[in-house]
């Protein structure tokens, strides 16, 4: 029987997938070359954040895998370059082992906004780099983020995204994220 956490994660994911497929009914030939360049993009990802070592709910583990999600906004300067705000949310309280095996750092459902610059060299891949902060009620940590995304056009300016990201919290711990989601250009 699924747990409440699985149900709470599955319902928003199903909603995003259904929204993504709603654009398939449009005729591609009708839209091609007739629309102006769309500068704005919003999106959401469901993901897991992975860390080397830590503790969740009092249980010590060699690797942590925590449910998380991301929302983002990008402003596209042209077809190759964009700048945006990407915010990650971890949905659990955890204790992370700091780099070098030093002290443990307790985090309570942190959010991590970052200003990102994106470069899209071709049709599908986008590479992003930026910085921001990892914020929870007790402490704020500096953050450097490196992301890569693979996008598939779904039609009607919707895109399905597979994302892989790496976060470095300065003088603390690092993590990587793997996520799936959708975005919409307007």
pLDDT of 1: 43
Say if CB 112 and CB 88 are below 8 A apart: yes
pLDDT of 20: 47
Tally of residues, the chain: 186
pLDDT of 26: 44
pLDDT of 118: 98
Q: List residues bridging with 132 in a β-sheet.
A: 114, 143
CA 5 to chain centre: 19
pLDDT of 91: 95
Rounded Cα distance, 44 and 58, in Å: 30
pLDDT of 12: 58
Residues in CB range of 134: below 8 A, 6 or more apart: 107, 110, 111, 112, 140, 141, 142, 143, 167, 169, 172
pLDDT in tens, the chain (186 residues): 444 544 455 555 555 544 544 444 444 434 455 568 999 999 999 999 999 888 888 788 889 999 999 999 999 999 999 999 999 999 999 999 887 766 889 999 999 999 999 999 999 999 999 999 999 999 999 999 999 999 999 999 999 999 999 999 998 999 999 999 999 999
pLDDT of 10: 55
- DSSP secondary structure code for residue 21 in this structure: H
Say if CB 124 and CB 97 are below 8 A apart: no
């Amino acid at each position: 029987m699924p747990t409440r956490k699985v149900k709470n994660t599955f319902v928003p994911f199903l909603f995003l997938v259904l929204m993504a497929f709603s654009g398939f009914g449009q005729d591609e030939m009708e839209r091609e070359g007739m629309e102006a360049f769309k500068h704005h993009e919003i999106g959401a990802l469901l993901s897991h954040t992975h860390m080397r070592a830590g503790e969740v709910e009092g249980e010590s583990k060699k690797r942590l895998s925590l449910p998380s999600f991301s929302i983002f906004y990008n402003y596209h300067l042209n077809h190759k370059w964009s700048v945006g705000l990407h915010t990650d949310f971890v949905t659990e309280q955890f204790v992370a082992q700091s780099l070098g095996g030093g002290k443990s750092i307790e985090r309570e459902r942190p959010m991590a906004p970052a200003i990102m610059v994106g470069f899209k060299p071709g049709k599908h891949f986008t590479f992003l780099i930026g910085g921001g902060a990892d914020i929870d009620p007790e402490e704020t940590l500096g953050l450097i983020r490196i992301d890569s995304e693979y996008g598939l056009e779904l039609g009607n300016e919707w895109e399905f995204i597979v994302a892989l990201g790496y976060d470095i919290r300065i003088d603390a711990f690092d993590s990587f994220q793997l996520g799936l989601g959708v975005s919409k250009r307007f």
